[in-house]
């Protein structure tokens, strides 16, 4: 039975929209983001039905703020690293049979409304990871981050043997078929996001990009310059020549 004022075709379109939203989930790894994560979650819930936050041992109320904003929450009792938080979320979402998982940060650097850009890309991509690309407009990007990102992206692109203009962007969309491959990556810290690309490329997945906004609001990076640089260099050495 059709509702008054609506045609059967409207109902069918509505059902298709619901199905489209249902097969995409958002995953937010979070560490000490109690003051900023709420708007990110609410923005994501305006686009997708499920938002899962993995609180990586924050201890500052991040989990409570995430639940209050409408997210499902998993907790790490202690800080284990961004990569470990992503893997916990991927493992939890995989049995729910979602077709795509969108990864975004909880600090506001990624505009949740732009999830729709990734959702549009999946209509033409199946066996691909889709990554946000901020490098088309870098006016808001601090110069140091620009050059580090550019150099790292060039190195990662060579190893993956496909162009990845913004390899350091955490805003990305993963197909369900890639989850098993990504869960097998040993890295647990920030280097995991680069290792995802190596593993996916080696398994035959394409890496595609969609333009996104470049947002910086003076937040302090959680990357440790010396320790995480060493981890990244070790990762490059491990995967040189396509090995890993």
The enclosing domain of 77 has a CATH number of: 3.90.550.10
Q: 154, 182, 179: which is closest to 166 by C-alpha?
A: 154
Find out whether 103 and 197 touch, Cβ atoms under 8 Å. no
Q: Report how many domains make up the chain.
A: 1
Contacts of 80 (CB under 8 A, 6+ apart): 56, 57, 188
Q: What is the percentage of the chain residues whose pLDDT exceeds 90? A: 65
Domain membership flag for residue 196? yes
pLDDT of residue 224: 53
Find out whether 129 and 197 touch, Cβ atoms under 8 Å. yes
pLDDT tens-digit map of 117-142: 999 987 666 789 999 999 988 887 88
Domain membership flag for residue 1? no
Domain membership flag for residue 141? yes
pLDDT tens-digit map of 13-54: 454 455 566 689 999 999 999 999 999 999 999 999 999 999
Domain membership flag for residue 5? no
Supply the pTM of this predicted model: 0.83
Domain coverage including residue 75: 11-242
**Pairwise CA distance, residues 165 & 161, whole Å:** 12
CA–chain centroid gap for 38, Å, is 17
Tell me which of 237 and 85 has the higher pLDDT: 85
Domain membership flag for residue 184? yes
**Pairwise CA distance, residues 23 & 97, whole Å:** 8
**Rounded (5°) CA angle 46-52-56:** 135
Dihedral sign of CA atoms 120, 204, 94, 32 in order: negative
């Amino acid at each position: 039975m059709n509702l008054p004022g609506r045609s059967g075709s409207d109902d069918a379109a509505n059902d298709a929209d619901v199905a489209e939203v249902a097969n995409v989930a958002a995953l937010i790894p979070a560490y000490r983001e109690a003051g900023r994560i709420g708007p990110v979650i609410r923005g994501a819930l305006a686009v997708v039905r499920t938002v899962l936050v993995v609180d990586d041992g924050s201890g500052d109320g991040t989990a409570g703020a995430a639940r209050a904003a409408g997210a499902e929450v998993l907790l790490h009792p202690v800080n284990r690293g961004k990569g470990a938080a992503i893997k916990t979320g991927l493992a939890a979402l995989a049995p729910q049979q979602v077709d795509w998982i969108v990864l975004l940060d909880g600090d506001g650097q990624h505009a949740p409304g732009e999830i729709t850009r990734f959702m549009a890309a999946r209509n033409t991509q199946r066996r691909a990871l889709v990554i946000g690309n901020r490098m088309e407009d870098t006016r808001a990007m601090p110069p140091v981050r620009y050059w580090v990102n550019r150099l790292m992206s060039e190195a990662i692109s060579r190893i993956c043997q496909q162009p990845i203009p913004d390899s350091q962007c955490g805003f990305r969309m993963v197909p369900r078929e890639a989850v098993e491959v990504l869960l097998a990556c040993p890295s647990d810290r920030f280097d995991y996001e680069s290792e995802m690309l190596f593993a996916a490329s080696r398994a035959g997945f394409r890496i595609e990009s969609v333009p996104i906004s470049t947002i910086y609001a003076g937040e302090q990076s959680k990357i440790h310059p010396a320790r995480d640089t060493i981890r990244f260099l070790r990762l490059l050495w491990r995967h040189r020549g396509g090995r890993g």
